[in-house]
Amino acid sequence: MRIDIISVVPKLMESFFGHSILKRGQEAGHAEVVLHDLRDYTTTKSRQVDDYAFGGGAGMVMLAEPIAKCIRHLQSEREYDEIIYMTPDGETFNQQTANSLSLGGNLIFLCGHYKGVDQRVRDMFITKEISIGDYVLSGGELAAAVCADAIIRLIPGVLNDETSALTDSFQDNLLAPPVYTRPAEFEGVKVPDILLSGHEAKVNEWRFEQSIERTKARRPDLLGKTGLF
């Protein structure tokens, strides 16, 4: 899978994508992330990417032309499954969306800034609009990084232990159970005996019960979606 991210501040994301599992995923050839500076697609000397809003009002609007040029350039080189615009008025991102985007092909993320992009870009090019939550960030970069991270780690082979993504919180609308590592006793607090028993079926049963308890306590809204109740 290839993920292209279009931004006015691509440098902001360079270090993020150059580290950790995202780097490993890229090195292993599972997912390639390519950052694009929108200013490279401008036609003016000042490399202008925004202008005043027609009709007045505070805040600048991102110009359609450089975005159209950048997207068309990318589309001329390969096919894309989705062209995603990161915006607080998009559909809220969740694990299901991450799952489905991780199964598909190439993606473009367009990061908005200022008052957002000219509506014609949304109408002409964008196939999906995503928000990462009901709050407004100063730009779509962090939001695109959040989505790309959640998607890339689901691609088989990116995580060391391939099964570990399947047991994440939210994967089945249940929160993950508590986890422990050595020592078996820390400052007088012991790891639950069952985890030391070596009895896999009982451990799985305990984890499942703990997941349900945690979800009931913290996210009761999810329980209805589990199909268990």
Paired with 94 in beta bridges are none
Structural contact between residues 128 and 84, judged by C-beta atoms closer than 8 angstroms: yes
Q: In what order do the strands lie in the sheet with 82-92?
A: 32-37, 2-7, 107-111, 82-92, 128-131
Q: Is 180 annotated as a binding residue?
A: no
Residues numbered 170-229 forming contacts with ligand ADE, rule: CB under 6 A: none
Residue 9 touches ligand ADE, criterion: CB under 6 A: no
Q: Is 136 annotated as a binding residue?
A: yes
Would you say 148 or 159 has its CB closer to ligand ADE?
Answer: 148
We find the least distance from the C-beta atom of residue 8 to ligand ADE, in angstroms, to be 13
Specify the stretch interacting with ligand ADE by CB under 6 A; choose among 63-71, 80-88, 149-157, 169-177: 80-88
Q: Is 67 annotated as a binding residue?
A: no
- Residues contacting ligand ADE: total by CB under 6 A: 12
Q: Is 123 annotated as a binding residue?
A: no
We find the least distance from the C-beta atom of residue 12 to ligand ADE, in angstroms, to be 13
* Closest listed residue to residue 191, CA positions, set 210, 174, 175, 215: 210
Residue 61 touches ligand ADE, criterion: CB under 6 A: no
Residues numbered 100-139 forming contacts with ligand ADE, rule: CB under 6 A: 112, 131-133, 135-137
Would you say 112 or 177 has its CB closer to ligand ADE?
Answer: 112
Over the range 119-147, which residues count as b (16 or more CB within 10 Å of their CB) and which as e? eebbeebbeebbbbeeeebebbbbbbbbb
Q: Is 117 annotated as a binding residue?
A: no
CA 52 from centre of chain: 30
Residues numbered 81-100 forming contacts with ligand ADE, rule: CB under 6 A: 86-88
Query: Residue 23: enclosing H or E segment and its boundaries?
Result: helix 20-27
CA-CA distance, 174 to 215, in Å (whole number)? Answer: 6
We find the least distance from the C-beta atom of residue 133 to ligand ADE, in angstroms, to be 5
Q: Is 168 annotated as a binding residue?
A: no
What is the crossing angle of helices 95-103 and 141-152, to 10°?
70
Residue 149 touches ligand ADE, criterion: CB under 6 A: no
Binds ligand ADE by CB under 6 A, chosen from 10, 25, 66, 140: 140
Structural contact between residues 155 and 106, judged by C-beta atoms closer than 8 angstroms: no
Q: Which residue is nearest to ligand ADE (CB)?
A: 143
Query: Residue 21: enclosing H or E segment and its boundaries?
Result: helix 20-27
Structural contact between residues 105 and 79, judged by C-beta atoms closer than 8 angstroms: yes
Annotated binding site for S-adenosyl-L-methionine: 112, 132-137
What residue ranges bind ligand ADE (CB under 6 A)? 86-88, 112, 131-133, 135-137, 140, 143
Residue ranges for the binding site? 112, 132-137
